Structure 1
Amino acid sequence: MDNFSNAVGSELPRLFPLFDNLHELILMVGTSGEIFYANSEFLHFSQMEWETLKALPLSVILPEWTVAKDEICSRKQNEKVLQFCFNEKQGERQLNLRDCFQWNDTFLLVFSQEGNQQTRGYDPIESWSLLDSMEDMVVFVDLDYRIQAYNKAADMRSQVLFKKPVVTGSLIFDYMIIPEDNKIILQQCKIALSGKNTTLERYYEIPNCEPIWYEYHSSPVMGINGKAAGVLIVCRDVSETRLQKLALNESESVFQNFFNNIQDSALLWHQAADGTIRLKDFNRAVEQMSPVKIKDWVGKSVDAFFKERPDMIERIRSCFLTGESSQEEVFSTLVTSGEPKWLLSETIRISKNYVVNIIKDVSGRKRSEIQIEENQRQLRTLLSNLPGMAYRCANDPDWTMEFVSEGCKELLGYEPEDLINNQKISYGSIIHPDDRMKIWQSIQNAFANQRGFKQAYRIYSAKGEMKWVWEKGQAIYNKNGEVVAVEGYITDISDRVQLEQTADRERHQAAALREAMSELSSELELAQVLRSILVILKKVIEYDSATLYLTENDLIRVAAARGFNDTSRLINRTFPATNPLLRMIQEHGEAIVLEDAQHDPRFERWEGADLVRSWMGVPLVRHGQFIGFLTIDSFSPGTYQADDTLLAQTFADEAAIVIENARLYEKAQQLATEDSLTKVHNRRYFYELAQKELERSRRYQSPLSIIMLDIDHFKKVNDRYGHGVGDQVLIEFVKRVQKELRSSDIFARYGGEEFVILLVESNLEKAFQAAERIREKVNANPFEISGFEPFISISMGVAEMDENTQSLDLLMDCADKAMYEAKQSGRNRVCIWQKPV
């Protein structure tokens, strides 16, 4: 059953209960006649218990099976259904072999009884449903590579990746994650159809998803005629296994990189199964410290390596046994020869079988301690009253202090002994992480050039308070020019830095505000102004999201938004102007700041606002009128302070002016181009647009036509119903005409009840058809206005630009003459301009 297991996974045993719910008779047998499994329907049919059935040779139950099996294996069986006789005391009964699946030496036989009768009183369940409980994705593909069956896991995968279900009869290639898979899967199917099993692993990177590894197993499905009936493709998600392997490799790589870059000497010890501890590896620092070739000792036992230091051997053995780390200073050599050194040995068990022994050379520090022991007393007295902290330290990244004055308690919040020899904390560790390496490299560069150093940087006190300090120091050299210590002075400059930062911030804000004002004032188009306000605002005040609201009667409308997941859904959304925060902003005309909006009951958590913590609402006021407000959001609490509100209000005041100017400009533009009553183009703007289309038509030799139309007897409408009704008739008339026009057509009121239409890319025939369509629509129904139902008709003239009408005035004159002809001919008709013969 190896190939069967490869196809359906290790979950087959738990599918047996599903077999028991099928109306088909299922039997799993081996080539030697063993019975591996029979489902409940088969046992019911045989009237035997399982223990009795499995003890019988298959030849007793199905005497014809041996011949049928040989025919199946040799692929000589024809396509007719085999029939088997079942021997029992009550006589012989017929079984129909409906399906036969072979996996190496195992056969899965699916029977139905003669006449396809059911032996139980429940609805049949399709055989394929037994795979629906599998986690692996299973698909059966026919010889045309079309999906004939699939399980739920395959359908769910399609829903997730392609947003569509699997469709029976569709090509398997329609469900490949990337196009390159089509060729690969086709090749796998061809191999499977040749009778071979294939396995393929693919890696995918899908947007907004974790990387996925899929393992595809393709197995041939042989019909009872011995020919391939299709391919069973099982897709298994092996991402977790691959990720674990990658994580393990990455962890090993990280450790190896970390181990090799430890600045101190490090030895890696391995304990074998027999308890022997041997040197596994070492880092580069060991080679610099050791007087012997350390690589020659790899593989040697700890007893040989530390043969003269039984305490080191015991410490390493104890670490393996208990897992407890230890640290101790020893006066010794690293191995068996060389100049004695003071070493700091730290033993750490990193796993059951590995211990790291880190050995730091502290010889210089020890010698310095002896040398300055007497000076400590004098320096303590001298420096106890100085502000700040005087120090002497080793030249290492930890700033390992050998001496610290009493001023460290006020400056750092630590006692002097806390820092000396890093007993409680190293000075290097309290330097701000962003400054630490930069400061260290700068100091080393100064020492390399035999210079002192001056540095300003940030530290964290014992209470977690960040401070700015200024440090001045110099190296202490031995007679060989080697740095043996660093001496210097550190003082608190936080107040000075804060003043400088405040001044810098105010200068930056002022410059940003000036730039923003200039940029805002350069815009005139209202839509562009609304889009630009929040973009420019970010140059003045940092935010995570922001919204611009404008008032519309009793509502507020979202005019612009930034920083939300789907801003397009927010634009033009309206809200009642009843929110308590909005009322406060409107009534007081002042900005409001919430330190944490999520804990303020006044804050409305509408869509997209669930991440907002700090919130600032700023009114937009113009000429004493509240026209809207800005909301400025941060995803961190306590972001905005009083100076931010002043800056935001200044920006909002300028934004209100720009919005008003843009509105006035938009209104002026409308008045200049639009007929005030009907809202279509006015005569002047029509000439401007039509002239451009005329030039384009000449350039590209494209057809261009014009329609002049006039409402028949419109004066009678005004006289009978009044000018108010007449105006409404004109408005409704325009709406009817517009429904029949294309977006590219230019429609304008020429004067009174006379209108003009320019039809681009339209010859005379198309223009005539359009005119007739408009005339019929206008005349089809009365206009229902103020209880009256006046009918109107229109007369229309159509002309097309040709070699005789190369100017707009000539073209319009021709159309006007045609319209006059329509009126003279009885009105309510369309006439085409004809060149006089």
Structure 2
Amino acid sequence: MSSEKSNQWDKDMLVKNTVWRKRNSWKAFKEWLTDKIRLFFFKLRQPLAWPKRWQNIRGSLLMKNKSEAGQAVEEKEAQKLIDDLARADDDGFAGAQRLPPSHIDRNKTKDQLSDEIVSLRLYIKNIEDRDGLLFDQNPAFSIIIDPNGKIENVNKVFLSNLKYARNEVVGQQISSLIIEDQRVAVSAHVEKNCITGNFPEFEAGLYAKDGSVKTVLFSPSPLLFHEKGRPFSILMTGVDLTARKEAEEVMIKLEEDLRLKGKKLEDVLNIDQRISSILDLNQLVDYVIKKATEILGAQRCSLMLLDQESQELLIKGAKGLDETIIQKTRVKVGDSIAGLVARDLNPLLVRDIEKDIMVGRKNRPFYKSRSFLSVPIKLHKKIVGVVNVSDKGLLGDGVFTQNDLKILCMIVHQAAISIENANHCRKLEYLSTTDSLTGINNHRYFLLTLKHEIERSKRYSNPMCLLMFDVDDFKSCNDLYGHLEGDQVLKEISRVVKTNLRTVDILCRYAGDEFAVILPETGIAQAEAIAKKIKKVLASLNFKSGVTLSMGIAAYHKNNDGRDLILKADQALYQAKREGKDRVCCLP
């Protein structure tokens, strides 16, 4: 009969194993595995399927002749086996069940009873051996702990993955294997589960013997309950999530990188809309530097433009550089790193300047990192300038990538077109505000600037004067020596006057041979001194015809506008003419 049941048990196990493999379900496997492991742990405490042929053993043991001391011992041992076995039902729940007394067999002899006990022990031993093999061969982490968290058994998968020997973990608290920041939470979790009887899944990080950490998803199940409802032991089966966690971290990092790249690309595309509307070169340079450092996460950036006359690169704008370096830096095309980039018209990415084959040299102390980018600004295959970016990251010690170089090239390409537009606008503005003959400011610029200076004087209550002068008998000079000589006289006068004025003074050609000088923050006495200085310098020059100037000076007063000031200065000029020319007249 035992052989038939053993064969039937093997068949049931094979069928259930086949079903699990077909379903490929962790839940189904866990239920099946828990059901089987319950059959053997803790020596007769575990739930076992109850063989019907043993239902009369208890009665037979209790009804034998109690006068024999040896038989009483056998009966007591048998009663203990039967009571332990009676704690389980067919579903694996450990209840304190008793067999009904109606099944007691009163005809068993002592020898027959002993045979039954031996048979019972062999059956249990067979189950223990089979289910012990099943526990060790379980492909998941399996741990048996008591309600206090003490480890009672572990399987081979647990030992092989964490590199422990069995005697190194059995008898230890499970909290000793759990990483520090989770120990208190896991201990409280196990204690709460034992009280409530609910055993939800949870994750925990386990230390391997070599110090590495394995992340495991545990599914706890009670093996056997006390009569009060608390479990004797808990089976914790787990799945190693370490590889999945690492893959998730990699995925999160990739998603973050992709998000940052998308944001950078969006920022670059948005630059085009703003940069095309900036026509002032200085504002354009500042905007390009600002966006390049923001998008690339850099702390230093400089934009250099080529001086066509000297063929040198000059720093037009910068971030993170000392003002002295900005003023003094002049790089010949072909010299230094920026000069090589300008000469070859190729962008440059350097990850480590001290190891780079092309530009290898010792890093300068004021740079935080050895990595930098240098991109030429070019139009129509001609160099316009160079943009340099360095010190990537919050600490400035990051390394630039190929993607960073591509982004900077896109920014520089848009900047190159805008720089060309700004230069065109600058030339148009120059042409519209500069006298083509003398190279000084023209009448249009004079009117705009005079209005601005009057408003400034009014706001700050500063003095201001307007000096107007013309060349005495200039028509006679043109008639005697020709218009070319007359033009030369005007050019020379413009040069001499401009040279002898202050930086803040504004010289303009008003009309024909008439000139105007705006003198900000200047009183009448100081303006008169400037006028006499100019006359003295001109007197020392040699012209084909004698050249003298008549000058008129008008002081600004509150509530005067530009027209009033011009009329006053013009009146002073004509007063100088009436008084004999070659003199200075003032209207305070």
Query: TM-score, length-normalised on structure 1?
Result: 0.42
Cα distance in 2 for partners of 1:677, 1:578 equals 37
Identify if the C-alpha distance between structure 1 residues 808 and 611 changes in structure 2 by more than 3 Å, giving closer, same or farther: closer
Matching of residues 593-672 of structure 1 within 5 Å? 593-600=349-356, 602-603=358-359, 611-634=368-391, 639-672=399-432
Verify: 1:821 aligned to 2:572, yes or no.
no
Identify if the C-alpha distance between structure 1 residues 535 and 460 changes in structure 2 by more than 3 Å, giving closer, same or farther: farther
Cα distance in 2 for partners of 1:401, 1:628 equals 75
Given that residues 585 and 619 in structure 1 are in contact (C-alpha distance below 8 angstroms), is that contact kept between their aligned partners in structure 2? yes
Q: How many residues align?
A: 431
Structure ID, larger Rg: 2
Matching of residues 60-79 of structure 1 within 5 Å? none
Identify if the C-alpha distance between structure 1 residues 525 and 497 changes in structure 2 by more than 3 Å, giving closer, same or farther: same
Matching of residues 510-529 of structure 1 within 5 Å? 510-521=265-276, 523-529=278-284
Identify if the C-alpha distance between structure 1 residues 528 and 692 changes in structure 2 by more than 3 Å, giving closer, same or farther: closer
Matching of residues 300-311 of structure 1 within 5 Å? none
Given that residues 376 and 403 in structure 1 are in contact (C-alpha distance below 8 angstroms), is that contact kept between their aligned partners in structure 2? no
Cα distance, 1:511 vs structure 2:
2.7
Cα distance in 2 for partners of 1:797, 1:510 equals 62
SS in 1 for 2:441: coil
Query: RCO greater where, 1 or 2, for CA within 8 Å and sep 6 or more?
Result: 2
Verify: 1:508 aligned to 2:268, yes or no.
no
Verify: 1:560 aligned to 2:294, yes or no.
no
Identify if the C-alpha distance between structure 1 residues 809 and 558 changes in structure 2 by more than 3 Å, giving closer, same or farther: closer
Higher fraction of helix:
2
Verify: 1:592 aligned to 2:343, yes or no.
no
Higher fraction of strand:
1
Identify if the C-alpha distance between structure 1 residues 483 and 701 changes in structure 2 by more than 3 Å, giving closer, same or farther: farther
SS in 2 for 1:556: strand
> What's the counterpart of residue 756 of structure 1?
516
Given that residues 438 and 491 in structure 2 are in contact (C-alpha distance below 8 angstroms), is that contact kept between their aligned partners in structure 1? yes
Cα distance, 1:392 vs structure 2:
5.7
Verify: 1:691 aligned to 2:447, yes or no.
no
Given that residues 332 and 339 in structure 2 are in contact (C-alpha distance below 8 angstroms), is that contact kept between their aligned partners in structure 1? no
Given that residues 402 and 420 in structure 1 are in contact (C-alpha distance below 8 angstroms), is that contact kept between their aligned partners in structure 2? no
Cα distance in 2 for partners of 1:429, 1:714 equals 107
Q: CA RMSD in A?
A: 5.3
Q: What is the identity, as a one-letter code, of the residue corresponding to 1:829?
A: R
Identify if the C-alpha distance between structure 1 residues 694 and 629 changes in structure 2 by more than 3 Å, giving closer, same or farther: closer
User: Which residue among 227, 238, 241 is the counterpart of 1:490?
Assistant: 241
String of CA shifts for 1:251-272, please: whole Å, max 9, x gaps: xxxxxxxxxxxxxxxxxxxxxx
Verify: 1:551 aligned to 2:306, yes or no.
yes
Verify: 1:793 aligned to 2:548, yes or no.
yes
Cα distance, 1:540 vs structure 2:
1.7
Matching of residues 768-783 of structure 1 within 5 Å? 768-779=528-539, 781-782=540-541
Identify if the C-alpha distance between structure 1 residues 429 and 530 changes in structure 2 by more than 3 Å, giving closer, same or farther: farther
Cα distance in 2 for partners of 1:445, 1:591 equals 61
Given that residues 289 and 317 in structure 2 are in contact (C-alpha distance below 8 angstroms), is that contact kept between their aligned partners in structure 1? yes
Q: What is the identity, as a one-letter code, of the residue corresponding to 2:532?
A: E
Cα distance in 1 for partners of 2:522, 2:343 equals 58
Q: What is the identity, as a one-letter code, of the residue corresponding to 1:675?
A: D
Given that residues 440 and 507 in structure 2 are in contact (C-alpha distance below 8 angstroms), is that contact kept between their aligned partners in structure 1? yes
Structure 1: which 5+ residue stretches go unaligned?
1-371, 385-389, 395-399
Cα distance in 2 for partners of 1:516, 1:748 equals 39
Cα distance in 1 for partners of 2:165, 2:339 equals 56
Cα distance, 1:658 vs structure 2:
2.9
Given that residues 595 and 638 in structure 1 are in contact (C-alpha distance below 8 angstroms), is that contact kept between their aligned partners in structure 2? no
Given that residues 164 and 209 in structure 2 are in contact (C-alpha distance below 8 angstroms), is that contact kept between their aligned partners in structure 1? no
> What's the counterpart of residue 221 of structure 1?
none
Cα distance, 1:378 vs structure 2:
3.9
User: Which residue among 313, 317, 325 is the counterpart of 1:569?
Assistant: 325
Identify if the C-alpha distance between structure 1 residues 798 and 602 changes in structure 2 by more than 3 Å, giving closer, same or farther: same
Identify if the C-alpha distance between structure 1 residues 419 and 820 changes in structure 2 by more than 3 Å, giving closer, same or farther: farther
Cα distance in 2 for partners of 1:725, 1:403 equals 111
String of CA shifts for 1:207-240, please: whole Å, max 9, x gaps: xxxxxxxxxxxxxxxxxxxxxxxxxxxxxxxxxx
Cα distance in 2 for partners of 1:430, 1:669 equals 78
Q: What is the identity, as a one-letter code, of the residue corresponding to 1:539?
A: E
Structure 2: which 5+ residue stretches go unaligned?
1-127, 146-150, 194-198
Given that residues 452 and 474 in structure 1 are in contact (C-alpha distance below 8 angstroms), is that contact kept between their aligned partners in structure 2? yes
Verify: 1:538 aligned to 2:266, yes or no.
no
Identify if the C-alpha distance between structure 1 residues 748 and 588 changes in structure 2 by more than 3 Å, giving closer, same or farther: closer
Cα distance, 1:754 vs structure 2:
1.0
Cα distance in 1 for partners of 2:144, 2:424 equals 71
> What's the counterpart of residue 441 of structure 2?
681
> What's the counterpart of residue 94 of structure 2?
none
Cα distance in 2 for partners of 1:646, 1:552 equals 27
Verify: 1:417 aligned to 2:176, yes or no.
no
Cα distance in 2 for partners of 1:579, 1:460 equals 58
> What's the counterpart of residue 81 of structure 2?
none
Cα distance, 1:650 vs structure 2:
1.4
Cα distance in 2 for partners of 1:720, 1:420 equals 123
Cα distance in 1 for partners of 2:477, 2:144 equals 104
